[in-house]
């Protein structure tokens, strides 16, 4: 009787276990690297902060008209806070947002603190607050003549 010896050849490719290990390692590495390359602020949070600053500016304008007296929105760039004078409530902006303020020279309170002034007739000294995170940015503009507040992407 003749015996046949059959050898099995292993098919080329990867086992399921090897694929799962590689996928797990890729997920682990991505979870560590992704925060290093992102700005840390979601686009929604950035837009929300821009809307909050715009609302504060509109409130300051409304206060100036209603009270028949100058009203200011004071912005602290380092603290990432703002308040509408004479109201003392401080509003906090997200920490990882970069802020820039363009305003009249007389409204600069300190090196990193400035204000945008509104007058009883609704006008303003004008100015711009820029909020940025990574490549995304919003500019909140105040028209000097009308005091109109607008958000630009």
Residue 139 falls inside a structural domain: yes
Q: Is residue 116 part of a domain?
A: yes
CATH no. for residue 103?
3.55.40.10
Tell me what the pLDDT averaged over the chain comes to: 87
Which pLDDT score, from 0 to 100, does residue 37 have?
62
Is residue 75, in this structure, part of any structural domain at all?
yes
Residue 148 vs residue 8, higher pLDDT: 148
Question: Does the structure show a pLDDT above 60 at 45?
Answer: yes
Q: What is the pLDDT of residues 49-104, one digit of tens each?
A: 999 999 999 999 999 999 999 999 999 999 999 999 878 899 999 888 899 999 98
What is the extent of the structural domain holding 82? 43-152
The answer to the question of residue 114 being in a domain is yes
Please name the residues in contact with 140: beta carbons below 8 A apart, sequence gap of 6 or more. Answer: 50, 53, 54, 57, 128, 129, 130, 131, 149, 150, 151, 152
Q: Does 110 fall in a domain?
A: yes
User: Between 80 and 38, whose confidence is greater?
Assistant: 80
Domain-embedded: residue 84: yes
Report yes or no on 85 lying in a domain.
yes
Total count of domains within the chain: 1
**Is residue 25 domain-resident?**
no
Who wins on pLDDT, 1 or 117? 117
């Amino acid at each position: 009787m003749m015996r046949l010896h059959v050898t099995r050849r292993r098919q080329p490719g990867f086992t399921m276990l090897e694929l799962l290990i590689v996928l797990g390692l890729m997920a682990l590495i991505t979870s560590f690297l992704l925060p290093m390359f992102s700005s840390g602020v979601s686009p929604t949070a950035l837009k929300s902060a821009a809307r909050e600053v715009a609302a504060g500016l509109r409130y300051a304008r409304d206060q100036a008209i209603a009270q028949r007296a100058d009203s200011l929105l004071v912005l602290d760039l380092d603290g990432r806070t703002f308040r509408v004078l004479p109201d003392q409530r401080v509003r906090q902006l997200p920490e990882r947002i970069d802020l820039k303020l363009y305003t009249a020279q007389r409204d600069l309170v300190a090196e990193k603190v400035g204000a945008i002034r509104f007058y009883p007739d609704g006008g303003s000294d004008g100015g711009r607050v820029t909020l940025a995170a990574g490549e995304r940015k919003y500019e909140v503009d105040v028209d000097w003549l009308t005091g109109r507040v607008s958000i630009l992407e």
